[in-house]
Amino acid sequence: MDPILEIRDLSKRFGGVEAVKAVSFDVPRGSLVGLIGPNGAGKTTFVNLVSKHESPDTGSVLLDKRPIHRLPSFKVARAGLARTYQKNRLFFEESVSENIRTAMIWGGAAKHQDLSYPGLKGKEEERTAELMEFFALTAQRDALPSGLSHLHRRRAEVAQALALAPKLLMLDEPFAGFSREEAFDLIDHLKVCQKGGLTMLLIDHNMEVMLEVCEYLFVMHHGALLASGTSAEVRANPEVINVYLGAET
Amino acid sequence: MIESLLPTRSARAIVGWSIVAAILVLLWVLVDNNYYLRLLISAGIAMIGVIPFGLLMGHMGYMAMGQGGFIGVGAYVVGCLTVQRFEIDIWAALPIAIMVVGALAYAFSFALFRLRGYHFSIGTLALGQLLYLAFDSWEWATGGPHGTSGIPRPAIGEFVFATNSRFLIIVSVFVFLAGFTSWWLARGHVGRALNAIRQDEDLAGARGLDVLRYKQLIFTFAAVWAGLAGGLYGSMQISIDPSSFTIWGSFQYVIYVIIGGAGTLLGPVIGVIFITVLDQLIADVGVWNQMILGALIVITVLFFRGGLWGGIRMLWALALKNRSADRSAVSTQAGAAE
């Protein structure tokens, strides 16, 4: 396995609460892996630590063999790790196209020659237009985020993250508020990007979708890594059944 | 209508700032009363400090409450270099004052920008108070509570800017420069970055923006102009003491921005003009003076979030809308008559 992301003993404590406890795992290059766990399992804190929205107390994070755990968040983004948020976040005073273009400018020009998903080639305007077309946002190009539907806002956020031309995209609860059809519509778009070389780490508690979509899953509980494996292995894991699926009885 | 006459933002900004400069020149020509000239100079000096401060507070959303301290450092460095300890020319003292204030602001920015929101405001308030205590107690450089006297007015060769009308020329030039540099920063990628930081700085960082660098840049930029305003204030007053650089001075900057309109460059200018005129109108009402000002701030914050400038723009837009509605009604009636 050629890992693009290597997490080693990542820990974070907030006062008396140990939000993330010595989590270690690898994400294979080009894969679509999932991180699941019940509410309060520490998933979002974990994402915040990897993307450097929070600094870990201990542990290390390597992106493409390069340590990123001591870098500020903007350098992590420029190194090729983009993320989206549990609660949709866009610049609310900027139009959809400005939101995408701005990230493109700050993230730097597309620099990863081995990638080939939409929005990587050409000038900023062409890349922005291509990303908007890919996510069916062209009609909303001048709209403010407040004027968009939840579906379009989520698509715009993913397009903005992809504008950084990342090697790895972490999506925090991307399917929240989505119907099954809408969730799979977004997955179809993400799979196109995966074919173009993008690695993705999905964080969600929509078990049904996650087990169906992800090639490999990690399960967190009380801040620690409880289990990992393919969907079949996770489904069959008694510990996971006990703490997450609640099907023990 | 303005948009059709002046289609680009740059054109509108150039015309706007030219109008401000023209008004200053007109006042310079028309006003020959020394009292009013000093008022104009004071207002001009406040504008020099508050226009760049508007970028920090309005565009970037960081309400610093220690600008009075930076004004004081500028004034005291000029005072120390020209009379208190050395006797160098004020034209040399002013750039040194700017550099000292810039270095000080940059050094403190590392600690201050570990804070956000009202924590940042309290941090800057503490810095302003710390500097005030330094002015009051570091007698070697500042003269302590008695202050520094005899700060000279600038001169070019034999031409001394000794009279108020002459000094107003220098102040007007710096008002224009403060406005121009602030506009230049606000219009390009820096302006975009500042707006993004105000909207969501975590997201800006996650999208590759070096947030700390922009915050430090604007904090230092605003402090440098406050330092220059302080140097000019010292030269205008000839004599300075710590009572001019209290927390109240810092609050005034915040009030100018809130009353005038945050997030625009012209808003703080309008704030300064409004407060200066209001101060004159209610100068004789004693303690009510502060109460009226307080009530105005509350009303502005509650009902005019965009300040006076925002209110003017809103009324202008409303008037245009009504006019176009009237026109379309007239054309509909004419069409029906035909």
CB-nearest to A73 from B195, B196, B205 is: B205
Q: Is residue B44 part of a domain?
A: yes
Q: Is residue B333 part of a domain?
A: no
CATH number for the segment(s) A3-245: 3.40.50.300
pLDDT at B337: 66
Helix-helix angle A150-162:A124-134, to 10 degrees: 140
Q: Of B242, B269, B271, give the one whose Cα is nearest residue B256.
A: B271
**C-beta atoms of B207 and A51 within 8 A:** no
Q: Is residue B177 part of a domain?
A: yes
Q: What are the chain B neighbours of A53 within 8 Å (beta carbons)?
A: 202, 205-206
Output A77 or A248, whichever has higher pLDDT: A77
**C-beta atoms of A74 and B210 within 8 A:** yes
Q: How far apart are CA A69 and CA A82, in angstroms?
A: 14
Q: What are the chain B neighbours of A103 within 8 Å (beta carbons)?
A: 207-208
Helical ranges in B31-146 per DSSP H:
34-54, 67-79, 90-112, 117-137, 139-142
Q: Is residue B19 part of a domain?
A: no
pLDDT at B157: 87
The pLDDT tens digits for A116-175 are: 888 888 888 999 999 999 999 999 999 999 999 999 999 999 999 999 999 999 999 999
**C-beta atoms of B209 and A74 within 8 A:** yes
**C-beta atoms of A107 and B200 within 8 A:** no
Number of domains in chain B: 1
- Per-domain boundaries in chain A: 3-245
The answer to whether B205 contacts chain A (CB < 8 Å) is yes
**C-beta atoms of B195 and A85 within 8 A:** no
CB-nearest to B208 from A89, A90, A108 is: A108
Q: Is residue B230 part of a domain?
A: yes
The answer to whether B191 contacts chain A (CB < 8 Å) is no
The answer to whether B116 contacts chain A (CB < 8 Å) is no
CB-nearest to B206 from A73, A93, A108 is: A73
Tens of each residue's pLDDT in chain B, 338 residues: 566 666 677 777 777 777 777 777 787 778 888 898 999 999 999 999 999 999 999 999 999 999 999 999 999 999 999 987 888 999 999 999 999 999 999 999 999 999 999 999 999 999 999 999 999 999 989 989 999 999 999 999 889 898 998 999 899 899 989 999 999 999 889 999 999 999 999 999 999 999 999 999 999 999 999 999 999 999 999 999 999 999 988 999 999 999 999 998 889 999 999 999 988 888 788 778 888 888 888 888 888 888 888 888 888 888 888 877 777 777 777 776 66
Collapse the DSSP code of A24 into the 3-class scheme (helix H, G, I; strand E, B; otherwise coil) and give the result.
strand
Q: What are the chain A neighbours of B207 within 8 Å (beta carbons)?
A: 74, 77, 82, 102-103, 106-107, 160-161, 163-164
CB-nearest to B208 from A53, A74, A94 is: A74
**C-beta atoms of A74 and B206 within 8 A:** yes
**C-beta atoms of B206 and A82 within 8 A:** yes
Output B296 or A95, whichever has higher pLDDT: A95
CB B53 within 8 A of CB B260: no
The DSSP secondary-structure symbol of B286 reads T
**C-beta atoms of B205 and A72 within 8 A:** yes
The answer to whether B200 contacts chain A (CB < 8 Å) is yes
CB A214 within 8 A of CB A194: no
Q: How far apart are CA B8 and CA B308, in angstroms?
A: 23
Q: Is residue B326 part of a domain?
A: no
Is pLDDT of A249 > 60?
A: no
**C-beta atoms of B206 and A91 within 8 A:** no
Q: Of A70, A86, A29, give the one whose Cα is nearest residue A206.
A: A86
CATH number of the CATH domain containing B202: 1.10.3470
Q: What are the chain A neighbours of B203 within 8 Å (beta carbons)?
A: 85, 89-91
Q: What are the chain A neighbours of B211 within 8 Å (beta carbons)?
A: 74
Q: Is residue B184 part of a domain?
A: yes
Taking only Cα atoms into account, the Rg of chain B, rounded to an integer number of angstroms, comes to 22
Other CB atoms within 10 A of residue A39 CB: 7
Interface test with B, best of A83, A102, A172 (most B CBs within 10 A): A102
Q: Of B67, B40, B46, B47, give the one whose Cα is nearest residue B56.
A: B67
The pLDDT tens digits for A52-92 are: 999 999 999 999 999 999 999 999 999 999 999 999 999 99
Q: How far is the CA of A82 from the CAs of A52, A163, A248, in angstroms?
A: 11, 9, 37
Task: Provide the domain limits for residue B94.
Answer: 33-305
Collapse the DSSP code of B231 into the 3-class scheme (helix H, G, I; strand E, B; otherwise coil) and give the result.
helix
The DSSP secondary-structure symbol of A119 reads T
Beta bridge partners of A19: none
**C-beta atoms of A85 and B196 within 8 A:** no
A59: closest CA of chain B, how far (Å): 21
ipTM of the complex in this document:
0.93
The DSSP secondary-structure symbol of B148 reads B
pLDDT at A111: 65
CB-nearest to B203 from A89, A105, A108 is: A89
Q: Is residue B37 part of a domain?
A: yes
Per-residue confidence band for A248, with pLDDT thresholds at 50, 70 and 90: very low
pLDDT at A69: 94
Main-chain phi, psi angles of A13, to 5 degrees: -120, 135
